[in-house]
Amino acid sequence: MLLRLPNALRCRFLAASGILKQLEYVPKPVCHTKCPRAGSNNFIEFTMSKTRIIILGATGYTALELIKILLRHPDVEIVAVTSREDRRMISQVHPSLSGLLELPLEHLSSSDVVSRCDCVFSCLPHTASAKVAPELLAHGVKVIDLSADYRLNSPEKFQMWYSEPHPDPDRLGNVVYGLPELFRQRITEANLVANPGCYPTSAILPLVPLIKSNVVESTDIIIDSKSGVSGRGRSVKLDSLYCECNENIAAYGIGTHRHTPEIEQIISIGTGKQTTVIFSPHLTPMNRGILTTTYSLLKSQNSTKTNILELLRMFYAKEPFIKVVGHLPGTKDVAGTNYVHLTADVVGNRVITISVIDNLIKGASGAAVQNFNLMFNYPETTALR
C-alpha cells in the first residue's frame, strides 16, 4: 500500500491491530521507507518528497533573504525564480548565492507556475501579486504574498491608500493576515496568506497585549519608527542613494504612510477595539533593522513597569520568536534573525514600548517562512533558528 504523508519531521501512525507504534523519520529530498506490520512480514511503503517552491520577483532584498532561509530548510526545493525583465542567473544578481543556488531568472506564465510547484512566495510589486494569485489558488497552489495586495480588508481602502483599483477585490476581507502570534490557527488552514508589513509587525506586537488587557487606550496612540535603508527596496530612488542617506536621518510619509491603515486594522481585529494611531516613519543611515517606539495613554494609574513587563511575558510566553527584555533593545540585538525584542516602561500617564526587528527577516522573509511552515505542517521554527 502506497501512502503519501504530509511533509513533517516526525510521523506517527498505527502499525496494526490497534497497537500504536512510533516511527521517528527524517525526510530526505525524495525517499522511500518501509515499516513492517506488527506480527507479519508485510510492509507498508511511504513516500515523502520535498515541497517545491517558486519565488516570484527574486531580484530584491527580501527575495535574497528568503532564498538564504529556504536553502537551510530540509524539506524545501526551490525549483524556479522569476523576474519580469532580468534573464541572468540568480547568483549573478545576488553574488552571495554563488555555488548555493544556480538557477536562471525566468519569466513564467501562471500555467507554468502551476505545473511546477506546490507553493509560491510572491515578492512582486503591489497589485502584481493579486493579478496572478487567483489562477494559482484555483489550481491548488498555496501562495504567500509579501506585497501589500491582500493586507487590507476592503477594495475602497486599498484604492485610497495605494491609488489604484485592486485586481482581486472580492477576496479582500477573507485573506489571513500572516502574523502567527495572533492568527496561528487560521494560518495553518490557509491557502493564501498576506505577509505583514515590517513597520506593522514592530508596532502591532507590543500594542495588542496592552490594549487587549485594558492597560492602555486604543486611541491616541503615537508610533515612531526608524528603519534601515533596505526597507526602501532595491530599486533606484533618489532618497535611497548613499549620498542622500549617509550621515542623515529623515522622516517621511507623516500621516500618509500606507502602513497606517494596516496597523489600525490588525490591532482592531486582534483586540476587538477600534484603534487609531499616528504613525511617523524615519529612514536611518543603516542597512537593516527597525526600532519602533509607541506611546499609549494609561487607563489605570496603578500600572507599573514591572507588571506591564510581566503582562507582556505572559502574553508571549509560548511564542518562539518573541523575547520580552528588561533593558532597552537595539537593532543589532536581532540583526539577521527572526526574533522580536521588546520592552516597556511607564512615563507619566503613558506606557512607552520599544521593539526591534530585522526588517528583512521578521519584517518580511523570516515571517514568510514561519507562515509557510504552519501552512505545510512543518515545525514552525524550521530554518529560522
List C-alpha distances in Å: 270 to 25, 186, 259, 263, 274. 37, 13, 16, 11, 10
Question: What's the full length of the chain, in residues?
Answer: 385
Spatial separation of the C-alpha atoms in residues 22 and 330, rounded to whole Å: 45
Cα distance from N-terminal residue to C-terminal residue, the chain: 37
Residues 117, 119, 123, 198: which is the catalytic one? 198
Beta-strand pair 250-251/277-283: antiparallel
For residue 35, indicate whether it is catalytic.
no
The set of residues, in sequence order, having a beta carbon less than 8 Å from that of 315 and lying 6+ positions away, is 209, 213
List C-alpha distances in Å: 75 to 15, 313, 369, 378. 25, 32, 12, 9
Report whether 198 contacts 364 (CB < 8 A).
yes
- Give exposure, 276-313, as e/b (b: 16+ Cβ within 10 Å): ebebbbebbebebbbbbbbbbebbeeebeeeebbebbe
| Residue that is written with C-alpha cell 496603578 in the block | 302
**Which contiguous run of DSSP H or E holds residue 294?**
strand 290-297
Q: Which amino acid is at 246?
A: N
Write down the H helix ranges in the chain.
61-71, 90-93, 110-116, 128-138, 155-162, 180-188, 198-212, 242-245, 259-271, 305-315, 366-375
Spatial separation of the C-alpha atoms in residues 136 and 192, rounded to whole Å: 10
Query: What residues act catalytically?
Result: 198
